[in-house]
Amino acid sequence: MSVQELDLKQEPPCTSGLGNYLWSDPPDEKKWADCVHCGMCLESCPTYEQTGQEQHSPRGRVHLIKSVAEGTLQVNEQFIDPVFQCLDCRACTTACPADVDVGGLIEEARGQIRQAMPLTGVKGAISKFFLHDLFPHQNRLNTLGGLLKFYQKSGIQKAVRKTKLINVMPQHLVDMESIMPEVKEPVKKKYKDVKVIKAKGETKQEVAMLTGCVMDVMFSDINESTINVLTRNGNDVVIPQSQTCCGALHVHAGDRDMGRKLAKQNMEAFKDFDKVIVNAAGCGCMMKEYAELFKEDPEMHAKAEEFSEKVEDISKFLHDTGYEKPNAEMNTRITYHDACHLAHGQGIRQQPRDILLDIPGVDMVHMPNSDRCCGSAGIYNITNPEMANAVLESKMENVPDDVEMISMGNPGCMLQMAMGVQKYGRNQKIVHTVQLLDWAYQKEDRMKEGEE
Amino acid sequence: MRAKDRVKSKDKHILNLADIVGGARSILYLKVDLVAYDCDGFTIHKHLPKAVVFPKNTQEVAEIVKYCSANNLPFLARGAGTGLSGGAIPLNGEIIISMVRMKKLISVDLENRRAVVEPGFVNLKLTNSISDKGYYYAPDPSSQYCCTIGGNVAENAGGAHCLKYGVTTNHILGLEVVMPNGEIVEIGKDGIPDAPGYDLLGLFTGSEGTLGIVTKITVRILKNPEGKQTVLAYFDRVEDGSQAVSDIISAGIVPAALEMMDKTAIEGVEAAAFPVGHPKDIEAVLLIEVDGIAAGIEEQIDQILEVCRKRDVREVRAAGSEEERARWWANRKTGFGAMGAISPDYLVQDGVIPRSKLPEVLSRINQISSESGLRIANIFHAGDGNLHPLVLFDARIPGESEKALEAGSQCLKVCADVGGTITGEHGVGIEKREEMRFVFTEEEIAAQTDIREVFNPHNLLNAGKLFPSPSRCVEIKKEMKAQAIS
C-alpha cells in the first residue's frame, strides 16, 4: 500500500511498524490480545452512554485499533474520531474482567495518528501553544496565572455583590471562607530558595513534591495545603526546582515525544528521593505509567518502572504512613467525587474517603456513580466541548442536593465541577481532599491560640 | 444544518434511512464505524453491515423496516451485542437496527408485579431501579451489567439464578413487535398472563430475532427474597463435586443457583480482575446459593454443608459477609471475559446434559481437548445441567479458529449423545446452525423454517441464523417448488 493511498501528510520514517501502523511505538499487540469482545465494558463508558455507538465504546475502540494492525483499517481522517472522542477516563479498565489496558492502547493509537497527521492550521497552532509553549514553561504559566487571577477575582467579586450570594451562604461556610488561605503565589516560586521545608516537630522522613503546572498556577492554595499537611505529619518536603509538567496532557493528545522529554526531565529531577508526592490524580497516574512511553528503550523502561514505584498520591501516602486526626469540628455536609485517574487509574477509592471521615463534624453523603467521569479529562473539555458538556450534565444529576461541598483529588475535575455548579445553578463549593484536612488543622490551631 | 449533522454519502438508501431517523447522529455508514459492528460476542465470523441506524421509537423502527422490505434490503436488530452465538452479526451486509437508544423504563406496576421497558434497557438497571422498593428482575445472565432486555428476549437468556426462577420466557408477560412487513402488533396485551390461544409470547421469546423486532416488553418482577446465603465448596475430584450437586437436589433443596467451575476455569478467573483466592490444585469449585424465607435458610445451609462433607469436600463454608458473597459472584459472573487473561481468544459452548452424566461428559471433553491440542475450561450451571465449555485458542495462528470450532462442535455432539442438547441459553445463531442436526431431523428443521416463513416470508430479517443453510434436500426441494409455482 502506497503512502499516497493512506492519505498521509508525513512520510513514515520506518517500515518496522505493525500492520497499517507505520511509525515507531505502535499500539501494543499484547494489550488487545486480552480482549475477548465480551462487552462488559460498555456500560462503564461515558461516551457510549451518550451515543450508544460502539465505535465510541471501549471494546469498539480496541477492535478498531486492532483492525488497523491487521490491515482492515488505516490511520486516516476517519480513524481520528473514535480514538480522540475517548475521555481516557479508564472506567473500562475497572469494568474489564480481563484487565485490558484500553487507556494505554488509546494513547498509543493517538501517537500514531499525530505522527501520521500532525495538526495543522488553527488547531495545530492552539495545540502547539498549549502543549509546547505553555505547559512545560513554569514562568510563562505564572504570567498567565497572574492575569487569570485578576479577571477571576474581579469577576467573582462582582458576581457575589450582584447576587448577594454571600448572604445566602450558611454562616459556617462564610467562616470557612474566612479561614481559606488567600490565593498566593505559586509554591514552586515561593519556595525557590528553600532547600527543605522542615517538618513541624520530629522528622519521620523526607519527601519530594510535584507542584504541577496547572495546579501551581490555578490552585497554589492546594499545594500550600499539601505542604502544610505533609509537614504537620512529620515529613520534610523538598520541591526540586528542575521538575516540570508531568506530560499527561501531551500523551493524551498523542504527543508522545514531548511526553518522553518531560518524563526524562522529571525522572532526573526526582532521582535522589524515595517518595514523590502528587496531589493531582492525572499527574500521579501519568508518572506511574512513564514506563509505557519507553517500550522501545529497555534501559529507560527499567528506570521508569523504578521511578513509578516512588510516585504516590497524597491521600494514599497519608493513609499508609499515618496522620494526625484533627480535633476541630468542621460541621459540614459533603460528598466525594472519584477522579478517574485516582479511582480507575490508581485504584485509590477508600483512602481519601477515610481521611475526610476522620475530620470531626464531616457528614459524608454518598454520590451515586461517584466514579463516573465529569468530562474534564485533561483538556478534553476544550477540545471536545459538546461531549464534555453532556458528560458533565449527567455527572451533575448525581450530585446530591443537600451538600455544601464536593471534595475530590484532581485539579481538572475541580475546574470542570466548578463549571457544573455554576451552569446548573447549584451552590456547592469545590474542594480538594487535603484542603479540608488542612483547614481542620488550622481551625484547631486557632482554637488552641484562642485558649492561650 | 451543522456540518456534523450532514450525511456525506451518495448512496440513496443511506440518505433515505438517515431521513427516517433524523440525520447523521443516528446513522453510521463509514467503514471505520461499521467495523465496530462486524461481530458481537461471537468473534469468529465477521461481516460488515451496510449501515447502522439508531431509532428513537417504535414508529421509526417500523418506518425503517418498511423501507428495508420495500427495497429488498436485509436487516436485523442488535442490542448491546453481547450475544455469544453470533445472532447480531450482519452475515448478509444487513442494515443493523440498533435498539440501544430505546432505553427507557416506561412504567413500574408494583401492585401487579410487572414493569414495562424499552428493548435497549439494560438488564441490571431494572433490578437497580426497583431494589429500593424491595423488588427485582430474576433472569440474570452473566452479562447483565450491559446486555439489554430486548436481546434477552431474542435469545431467551438464562443465568445463574434460573435454576429456581426460570429463564427469560418465564418472565415475559407482553411484547410489542414490529413485524418484518413493518406492521406493529401487540402480543400478550396488557401483560395478562396465560392468555388463551397459541403461546405466541413463547414463540417470539428465543426466536433469535428472526420473526420480528421487539420494541416494548412487559416483564414480571419479583419481591426480593427475605434471606439469601451462599456456600463455597472445593473438591479434589470432579466426580465428588458433581455427585454433591445431585445429592443437594435429591435432598429436596432447590437452590437459587448452583454453579461449578473446573480447574482451567479457576486458573482463568484467578488470573483476571476479580480473583478470590481459589486454590489452584482443586478439580472443582461449587457455588451454591439458597434464598427464600429467612427462617429456613440456616437449616438448608447446614444440609448443604453436610452433603458436601459426605462427598469428600476439601473445604466448604458459607459466606462470612455480604461483601464476601458479592466477591464470589463477581469472580464467577465475569468468568467468560476472564478467559482473556489466559488466552487471546475463546469460544464458549452451551451444551445441556443430564446432571448425572457430568463426570462422563467432562472426561470426554478432556479427551477432545487433548486431541485438538486446545485447552478447554468448563463453567457450568450445574443445577440445571447447562455446561459451558470454553475452548481457548489464538486466532492469529492459522487454522486454530477452525480447530476451535471443530472442538466446540465435538463438545456439543457429546452433550447430544448423552441425551442432552446443544444450547441452554446462548442461542444457535451462526455458531450452532449445523449442530442443529445433532438434535433435529431434516423434517423437524423444515417444520420450523415453515413457521418462520409465516412471519418473515422473504427472509430479509436476520437471515442465515438459527437453522442450517438450505443446502440439504428438504429445503432445496421446497425452494424449487416455490420457484415452480411462481
Residue B293 vs residue A169, higher pLDDT: B293
Question: Residue B124: closest CA among chain A residues belongs to which residue?
Answer: A43
Global pTM value: 0.89
At residue B71, does pLDDT exceed 60?
yes
B355 falls in which pLDDT band (50, 70, 90)?
confident
Report pLDDT for B480.
56
For residue A292, give the DSSP letter: G
Cβ atoms within 10 A of the Cβ of A19, count?
A: 18
Quote the CA–CA distance of B219 and B150 in Å, as a whole number. Answer: 11
User: Chains A and B: how many Cβ contacts under 8 Å?
Assistant: 111
* Nearest beta carbon to residue A36 from set B52, B80, B339: B339
> Structural domain tally of chain B?
5
The 10s digit of each residue's pLDDT in A139-150 is 777 776 665 555
The percentage of residues in chain B with a pLDDT greater than 70, rounded to a whole number, is 96
The 10s digit of each residue's pLDDT in B270-294 is 999 899 999 999 999 999 999 999 9
Q: Which of A34-38, A273-277, B300-304, B318-322 has the lowest mean pLDDT?
A: A34-38
Compute the nearest-CA separation of A257 from chain B (Å): 27
Report pLDDT for A12.
58
Domain shared by B296 and B352, yes or no:
no
Residue A83: which H helix or E strand, with range? Answer: helix A77-84
Report pLDDT for B476.
52
Domain shared by B383 and B307, yes or no:
no
Quote the CA–CA distance of A340 and A57 in Å, as a whole number. Answer: 17
Do you know the residue count of chain B? 486
- Mean per-residue pLDDT for B193-200? 83
- Mean per-residue pLDDT for B32-49? 95
At residue B337, does pLDDT exceed 90?
no
Compute the nearest-CA separation of A388 from chain B (Å): 16
Give the 3-state DSSP-derived string for chain B, with helices as H, strands as E and coil as C.
Answer: CCHHHCCCCCCHHHHHHHHHHCCHHHEECCHHHHHCCCCCCCCCCCCCCCEEECCCCHHHHHHHHHHHHHCCCCEEEECCCCCCCCCCCCCCCCEEEECCCCCCEEEEECCCCEEEECCCCEHHHHHHHHHHHCEECCCCCCCCCCCEHHHHHHHCCCCCCHHHHCCHHHHEEEEEEECCCCCEEEECHHHCCCCCCCCHHHHHCCCCCCCCEEEEEEEECEECCCEEEEEEEEECCHHHHHHHHHHHHHCCCCCCEEEEEEHHHHHHHHHCCCCCCCCCCCCEEEEEEEEECHHHHHHHHHHHHHHHHHCCEEEEEECCCHHHHHHHHHHHHCHHHHHHHCCCEEEECCEECCHHHHHHHHHHHHHHHHHHCCCEEEEEEHHHCEEEEEEEECCCCCCHHHHHHHHHHHHHHHHHHCCCECCCCCCCCCCCCCCHHHHCCHHHHHHHHHHHHHHCCCCCECCCCCCCCCCCHHHHHHHHHHHHHC
Q: Chain B within 8 Å of A63 (Cβ-Cβ)?
A: yes
Report pLDDT for A125.
76
Q: Which residues of A touch B143 (CB under 8 A)?
A: 38-40
- Mean per-residue pLDDT for A275-295? 97
Q: Chain B within 8 Å of A337 (Cβ-Cβ)?
A: no
Given a contact cutoff of 8 angstroms between Cβ atoms, the answer to whether A316 and A351 are in contact is yes
Question: Residue A68: closest CA among chain B residues belongs to which residue?
Answer: B32
The whole-chain average pLDDT of chain B stands at 92
Report pLDDT for A170.
47
Q: Do the Cβ atoms of B80 and A34 come within 8 Å?
A: no
- Mean per-residue pLDDT for B332-346? 89
- Mean per-residue pLDDT for A346-358? 97
* Nearest beta carbon to residue B32 from set A40, A42, A82: A82
Domain shared by B247 and B331, yes or no:
yes
Report pLDDT for A119.
82
The CA–CA distances, whole Å, from B155 to A60, A175, B351 equal 22, 60, 15
Report pLDDT for A219.
86
At residue B482, does pLDDT exceed 70?
no
Residue A399 vs residue B481, higher pLDDT: A399
Report pLDDT for B192.
76
Residues 6+ away with beta carbon under 8 Å from A367: A335, A336, A337, A398, A399, A400, A406
Q: Do the Cβ atoms of A64 and B35 come within 8 Å?
A: yes
Q: Chain A within 8 Å of B82 (Cβ-Cβ)?
A: yes
Compute the nearest-CA separation of A63 from chain B (Å): 7
A384 falls in which pLDDT band (50, 70, 90)?
confident
A362 falls in which pLDDT band (50, 70, 90)?
very high
A151 falls in which pLDDT band (50, 70, 90)?
very low
Quote the CA–CA distance of B27 and B55 in Å, as a whole number. Answer: 9
Domain shared by B336 and B230, yes or no:
yes
Domain shared by B178 and B212, yes or no:
yes
Compute the nearest-CA separation of B82 from chain A (Å): 6
Q: Chain A within 8 Å of B87 (Cβ-Cβ)?
A: no
Report pLDDT for A1.
40
At residue A377, does pLDDT exceed 50?
yes
Domain shared by B78 and B181, yes or no:
no
Report pLDDT for B106.
97
Domains of chain A and any CATH numbers:
29-118 (1.10.1060.10), 134-319 (no CATH), 325-451 (3.40.50)
- Mean per-residue pLDDT for A288-316? 97
Question: Residue B34: closest CA among chain A residues belongs to which residue?
Answer: A55
Q: Do the Cβ atoms of A42 and B146 come within 8 Å?
A: yes
The 10s digit of each residue's pLDDT in A85-137 is 999 999 999 999 888 999 999 999 999 999 998 887 777 777 777 777 777 77
Cell numbers found for residue B306: 453436610
* Nearest beta carbon to residue B272 from set A37, A41, A98: A98
Q: Chain A within 8 Å of B266 (Cβ-Cβ)?
A: no
Q: Which residues of B touch A36 (CB under 8 A)?
A: 43, 336-337, 339-340, 345-346
The CATH number that applies at residue B216 is: 3.30.465.10
Domain shared by B218 and B126, yes or no:
yes
Report pLDDT for B199.
92
Q: Which residues of A touch B101 (CB under 8 A)?
A: 52
The CATH number that applies at residue B386 is: 3.30.70.2740
Domain shared by B236 and B256, yes or no:
yes
Report pLDDT for A164.
52
Domain that residue B147 falls in: 105-223
Q: Chain B within 8 Å of A13 (Cβ-Cβ)?
A: no
Q: Do the Cβ atoms of A67 and B35 come within 8 Å?
A: yes
Name the nearest CA neighbour of B348 among B371, B380, B384.
B380
Q: Do the Cβ atoms of B272 and A39 come within 8 Å?
A: no
The 10s digit of each residue's pLDDT in A202-255 is 999 999 999 998 788 878 899 999 999 999 999 999 999 999 999 999 999 999
Domain shared by B21 and B92, yes or no:
yes
Given a contact cutoff of 8 angstroms between Cβ atoms, the answer to whether A203 and A236 are in contact is yes
Supply φ then ψ for residue A137, to 5 degrees.
Answer: -115, 105
The CA–CA distances, whole Å, from A389 to A262, A268, A375, A423, B413 equal 30, 38, 7, 10, 54
Q: Do the Cβ atoms of A38 and B100 come within 8 Å?
A: no
Q: Chain B within 8 Å of A369 (Cβ-Cβ)?
A: no
Given a contact cutoff of 8 angstroms between Cβ atoms, the answer to whether A221 and A184 are in contact is yes
Q: Chain A within 8 Å of B390 (Cβ-Cβ)?
A: no
Domain shared by B252 and B296, yes or no:
yes
Domain shared by B9 and B83, yes or no:
yes
Residue A238: which H helix or E strand, with range? Answer: strand A235-238
Q: Which residues of B touch A95 (CB under 8 A)?
A: 145
Query: Which of the listed residues B223, B246, B274 is the one where a domain comes to its end?
Result: B223
Q: Which of residues 26-45 of A touch B (CB under 8 A)?
A: 33-43
Q: Which residues of A touch B103 (CB under 8 A)?
A: 52
Report pLDDT for B119.
98
* Nearest beta carbon to residue B36 from set A38, A54, A98: A54
Residue A278: which H helix or E strand, with range? Answer: strand A276-278
Q: Do the Cβ atoms of A36 and B54 come within 8 Å?
A: no
Q: Which of A205-219, A251-265, A410-424, B1-15 has the lowest mean pLDDT?
A: B1-15
* Nearest beta carbon to residue A38 from set B28, B100, B337: B337
Query: Which of the listed residues B175, B205, B223 is the one where a domain comes to its end?
Result: B223
Q: Which of residues 155-184 of A touch B (CB under 8 A)?
A: none
Q: 3-state class of A334 per DSSP?
A: strand
B2 falls in which pLDDT band (50, 70, 90)?
low
Report pLDDT for A257.
94
The percentage of residues in chain B with a pLDDT greater than 90, rounded to a whole number, is 83
The CATH number that applies at residue B27 is: 3.30.43.10
Domain shared by B353 and B397, yes or no:
yes
Name the nearest CA neighbour of B143 among B80, B87, B203, B99.
B80
Q: Which residues of B touch A57 (CB under 8 A)?
A: 36
Buried b (16+ CB within 10 A) or exposed e, A109-139: bbbbbbbbbebeeeeeeebeebbeebbbebe
Supply φ then ψ for residue B215, to 5 degrees.
Answer: -120, -10
Compute the nearest-CA separation of A24 from chain B (Å): 22
Query: Which of the listed residues B189, B223, B257 is the one where a domain comes to its end?
Result: B223
The CATH number that applies at residue B284 is: 3.30.70.2190
